[in-house]
Chains A and B, each alone.
Chain A
């Protein structure tokens, strides 16, 4: 190593200082171009979805690379056909957020306030739940839901879909709440607040950002759910939008503009969150996965 330093000290020196110094202008713009190219490749399928949804395509006619004659006809048809399914998805997702936060917030608080071996074990078990294959859960829930009359029902789907949100929300919010100074909560006690009041009017407002992140992701999980929708519904009565898309895929439907328009509608929450709630998204991706 030291020999290398001696042989070309200047080169080493300059590169080493790079993080502090401005990189050469050309390099930065070249990187921008590469970055945009990466985005074009990575996001092409999303572009293609929107592009095709705006063109009337039937059968084997090839789509244009750009929607010169953009038409919303596919969306209009699809909203008619899939409208009830969109409403179902929305109700299931909102219900799942409410249920997940109601269960996960106090749990995260409890786990954040009493560090110790017991809590470590509980946290590990919660992490493990995230690794249990959904099909294993679905196999068992189908007979149980059948007995309880929860098949083909929105409450049934809310309960099942919360299984993705609750463990995630507990881990995410606990990590955040662990950083709340004990003094703040004790101050509330000194003022005569009950344990619940301290939780409600101190811990929850302070943890607002973590709650929003957990809520947004829980919404996305439930909105995107496919496996429980597929296994726990048997009639068209209750049919989330993901299942609506699957029906198109498994039938011999050749009307790809309709399929893409449905897919586009089902993508709205993800796209909206990415545009409107970037900072929450970034913290959610890392927060839920690695402790």
Chain B
């Protein structure tokens, strides 16, 4: 818009008034045309994101079960779905699990991703090739990663136990996925493995943006190695790290494939998160009302982080 207007101003001196009017009409027209271009996307987004949110909210106040699909009846039940979900014994576990899972995943992914990004910032042969191969865990379907890790972590014939027992690191096979005290840790491990490439690539991009001169100036002041990282790299990388961390939280909160594939929320709900519990309520127990209530809890948490993301990205674009 602004470009068009500016041009009309410049050319207007030469062109007659009629030319200006025609130009303005075309600007107006293209404005409408532009929104016609956007219309299909608007309709799609409304149907596949807007509608589900509204539907989740309404369903969460309804008794919405398998019977509803036959009779079409979904009586309003007020807050009772929320009360049932929150009073359920599993609720506390799922909240704690979700928090541990998200924090554990993010800390691991981010820490190792940052180390890799710093490592690959150095020049050495085959750097580019190795960096792109590193992306593979992130590109694989999550259910494929789950399957492979389920086999690696298998108690009886998994290669990890074979390795650990063979080297006498552990006295016997460890029940990585079937012990209630270890399962969540194992699921976090797989989540970290999947997320490292994404973190490494984004942080690597951020590192490349930091001007070399700053390191030279810092080195003149004697700041190299850890000091350079502390006083140059970290402060300048902050906008990128903020965004990566918040995006990481939002993406990790909704993870469902890894958990369903590895443990299906078990053993004894040891790996049940808000997302998997919502799935379980709707699609295993066929109580869509309660499933939606649980889904809305997840939605609210996600949207809080989405707002934080907006704040952060606004601040970084102002800089």
How far does the alpha carbon of A28 sit from the alpha carbon of B120 in the complex, in Å? Answer: 11
- For residues 10 through 27 of chain A, which have their beta carbon under 8 Å from a beta carbon of chain B? 11-13, 15-17, 19-20, 23, 27
Q: Mark A117-144, 1 if CB is under 8 A from B, else 0.
A: 0000010111111011111111111111
Taking a contact as CB atoms under 8 Å apart, the answer to whether A281 and B135 are in contact is yes
- For residues 51 through 66 of chain B, which have their beta carbon under 8 Å from a beta carbon of chain A? 51-53, 55-56, 59, 64
Taking a contact as CB atoms under 8 Å apart, the answer to whether A52 and B260 are in contact is no
Q: Tally inter-chain residue pairs, CB-CB below 8 A.
A: 332
A13, A45, A142, A270, most chain B CB atoms within 10 A: A45
A52, A125, A224, most chain B CB atoms within 10 A: A224
Taking a contact as CB atoms under 8 Å apart, the answer to whether B157 and A61 are in contact is yes
Q: Mark A1-42, 1 if CB is under 8 A from B, else 0.
A: 111110110011101110110010001110110111011001
How far does the alpha carbon of A154 sit from the alpha carbon of B224 in the complex, in Å? Answer: 57
Taking a contact as CB atoms under 8 Å apart, the answer to whether B193 and A270 are in contact is no
Binds B, one of A77-85, A206-214, A283-291: A283-291
The answer to whether A1 and B223 touch (CB under 8 A), given A129-B45, A135-B275, is yes
Contact partners of A220 in chain B: CB under 8 A: 139
- For residues 1 through 47 of chain B, which have their beta carbon under 8 Å from a beta carbon of chain A? 1-4, 26, 29-31, 33-35, 37-38, 40-42, 44-45
The answer to whether A224 and B142 touch (CB under 8 A), given A139-B288, A231-B283, is yes
Taking a contact as CB atoms under 8 Å apart, the answer to whether A36 and B130 are in contact is yes
The answer to whether A195 and B33 touch (CB under 8 A), given A60-B157, A227-B256, A278-B132, is yes
Option from B52, B133, B306 in Cβ contact (under 8 Å) with A137: B52
Interface residue? B103 (CB, 8 A): no
Contact partners of A266 in chain B: CB under 8 A: 141, 143-144
Question: Residue on B with the closest CB to A286?
Answer: B205
Taking a contact as CB atoms under 8 Å apart, the answer to whether A230 and B135 are in contact is no
Option from B42, B126, B146, B197 in Cβ contact (under 8 Å) with A35: B126
Q: Mark B96-115, 1 if CB is under 8 A from A, else 0.
A: 00000000000000000000
The answer to whether A182 and B3 touch (CB under 8 A), given A16-B215, A49-B148, A248-B147, is yes
Contact partners of A31 in chain B: CB under 8 A: 119, 122, 124
How far does the alpha carbon of A56 sit from the alpha carbon of B134 in the complex, in Å? Answer: 29
Option from A116, A126, A290 in Cβ contact (under 8 Å) with B1: A116
- For residues 71 through 98 of chain A, which have their beta carbon under 8 Å from a beta carbon of chain B? none
Question: Residue on A with the closest CB to B133?
Answer: A39
Q: How far is the CB of B294 from chain A (nearest CB, A)?
A: 9
Contact partners of A131 in chain B: CB under 8 A: 250-251, 254, 302-303, 305-306, 309
Taking a contact as CB atoms under 8 Å apart, the answer to whether B51 and A140 are in contact is yes
Question: Residue on A with the closest CB to B33?
Answer: A195
- For residues 115 through 158 of chain B, which have their beta carbon under 8 Å from a beta carbon of chain A? 116, 119-120, 122-127, 130, 132-152, 156-157
The answer to whether A46 and B148 touch (CB under 8 A), given A5-B221, A140-B51, A270-B141, is yes
Interface residue? B82 (CB, 8 A): no
Interface residue? A62 (CB, 8 A): yes
Question: Residue on A with the closest CB to B292?
Answer: A139
Q: How far is the CB of A220 from chain B (nearest CB, A)?
A: 6
Category for how many chain B residues contact A = 35 or more
Q: How far is the CB of A168 from chain B (nearest CB, A)?
A: 12
Contact partners of A126 in chain B: CB under 8 A: 45
Taking a contact as CB atoms under 8 Å apart, the answer to whether B288 and A136 are in contact is no
Option from B127, B159, B310, B317 in Cβ contact (under 8 Å) with A48: B159
Taking a contact as CB atoms under 8 Å apart, the answer to whether B299 and A285 are in contact is no
How far does the alpha carbon of A262 sit from the alpha carbon of B146 in the complex, in Å? Answer: 13
Q: How far is the CB of B73 from chain A (nearest CB, A)?
A: 13
Contact partners of B205 in chain A: CB under 8 A: 286
Taking a contact as CB atoms under 8 Å apart, the answer to whether B240 and A290 are in contact is yes
Option from A36, A146, A246, A248 in Cβ contact (under 8 Å) with B69: A146
Residues of A in contact, count (CB < 8 Å): 116
The answer to whether A114 and B288 touch (CB under 8 A), given A102-B40, A144-B51, A226-B257, is no
Interface residue? B94 (CB, 8 A): no
How far does the alpha carbon of A149 sit from the alpha carbon of B76 in the complex, in Å? Answer: 25
Question: Residue on A with the closest CB to B138?
Answer: A285
Q: How far is the CB of B316 from chain A (nearest CB, A)?
A: 9
Question: Residue on A with the closest CB to B161?
Answer: A62
Contact partners of B250 in chain A: CB under 8 A: 131
Q: How far is the CB of B145 from chain A (nearest CB, A)?
A: 7
Question: Residue on B with the closest CB to A159?
Answer: B48
Interface residue? B202 (CB, 8 A): yes
Taking a contact as CB atoms under 8 Å apart, the answer to whether B130 and A39 are in contact is yes
Interface residue? A163 (CB, 8 A): yes
Option from A3, A113, A245 in Cβ contact (under 8 Å) with B147: A245
Interface residue? A54 (CB, 8 A): no
How far does the alpha carbon of A178 sit from the alpha carbon of B37 in the complex, in Å? Answer: 15
Option from A13, A45, A60, A125 in Cβ contact (under 8 Å) with B152: A45
Q: Could you list some 9 contacts between A and B, CB below 8 A?
A: A4-B223, A7-B222, A35-B119, A38-B134, A127-B309, A136-B295, A140-B53, A163-B49, A271-B136
Residues of A within 8 A of B (CB): 1-5, 7-8, 11-13, 15-17, 19-20, 23, 27-29, 31-32, 34-36, 38-39, 42-43, 45-46, 48-49, 52, 57, 59-63, 102-104, 106-107, 109-111, 113-116, 122, 124-129, 131-144, 146, 159-160, 162-163, 166-167, 170, 182, 189, 195, 199, 220, 223-224, 226-227, 230-231, 242, 245-246, 248-250, 256, 259-260, 262-263, 266-267, 270-271, 273-274, 278, 281-282, 285-286, 289-291
Which 8 A-B pairs have CB atoms at the shortest separation, nearest pair first? Answer: A16-B219, A4-B222, A107-B41, A224-B141, A140-B52, A140-B55, A133-B254, A31-B124
